[in-house]
Amino acid sequence: MRDFTLAVGQWPVVNDKAQNLESAESFLRAAAQKGATLCVLPEMFLTPYELPLLRSSSEELDGPTLKRLRSVVRELKLYVVAGTFCEKRTNDYYNSAYVLDPEGEILGVHRKIHLFDVALESVNVKESAVLTPGDHPLVLETPFCRLGVCVCYDTRFPDIFRYFESQGVEVVAIPAAFSQATGSAHWHVLMRSRAVDYQVYLAAACPAPNLQSSYVAYGHSLVVDPWGTVLAEAGEGEDEILAVLRAEKLEKVRRELPLIQHRRPDLYRRWVAQR
């Protein structure tokens, strides 16, 4: 890893794809002017996170959204985790996060693995009624870090982060759309604990609340360091946050608190086998 500047974008996602795409482009241009190398967009940044809207807003790989983003990042020379949008592939629909390089090339895609099927007092969602789950976390080598990508609800499943650890990931990008109920309860504790337990930098992008939507996002996009310190946090409105990620900090935490060397996977496998 080497030092670089990371930017996270946050805005209220409205029921207008063109306006949401304008918000994404405005964020990318502002972040580039401030020296960002890597930018992260929120989950479902094209349409409010309402299941009936997802399929109607879906696009295929060569659709207008990725074409426009690829053109913008080529102009600005950015690496971008392009949030997520509903991707149509033949007869399936995925919650997909594409990663683009400064030439506008697609480096990889993470399709949300764990679908959000929950029935809480304030949130009742069944993603599996619309979406198909992905089956593998995304890990990429960039010139400045080894990057892992997962999406929102995936964060609650440590096995993904164990995989990231096994692959030498240093920075994890998480497009997300936590609700106000789950966000106020778990957003900070989950993001900070994942960063601490797996000794990574973590960038989580969440839309700002849109009070006109039936699903109200939490906002509070974060950048957290491997010690669990919040380096930057958005409020509840439209915002952009930037943080410099220091290679020396990552090395120091891993050297002084060597969790990776102290893991005992041989024992853990044995315990599971004995159940």
- DSSP characters for 23-69? HHHHHHHHHHHTT-SEEEPPTTTTS-S-HHHHGGG-B-TTSHHHHHH
- The confidence score (pLDDT) of residue 52 equals 87
Q: Count the domains in the chain.
A: 1
For residue 131, the domain's CATH number is 3.60.110.10
Q: Which of these is catalytic: 43, 87, 127, 240? A: 43
Model confidence at 231, pLDDT cuts 50, 70, 90, reads: very high
pLDDT higher than threshold 80 for residue 275? no
β 106-111/38-40 pair status: unpaired
| Residue-wise pLDDT tens digits, 180-212 | 999 999 999 999 999 999 999 999 999 999 999
- Tell me how far the alpha carbon of residue 171 is from its chain's centroid: 11
d(CA 102, CA 97): 16
| Residue-wise pLDDT tens digits, 235-267 | 999 999 999 999 999 999 999 999 999 999 999
Report phi then psi at 260, rounded to 5: -60, -45
Judge residue 185's burial from the number of C-beta atoms within 10 Å of its C-beta, 0-12 exposed, 13-18 middle, 19 or more buried: middle
Q: Which of these is catalytic: 17, 39, 86, 112? A: 112
Query: Does 112 participate in catalysis according to the annotation?
Result: yes
Mean pLDDT of 71-85: 98
Q: Which of these is catalytic: 39, 145, 150, 152? A: 152
Query: Does 152 participate in catalysis according to the annotation?
Result: yes
Which domain range does residue 192 map to? 4-273
Query: Does 43 participate in catalysis according to the annotation?
Result: yes
pTM for the model stands at 0.97
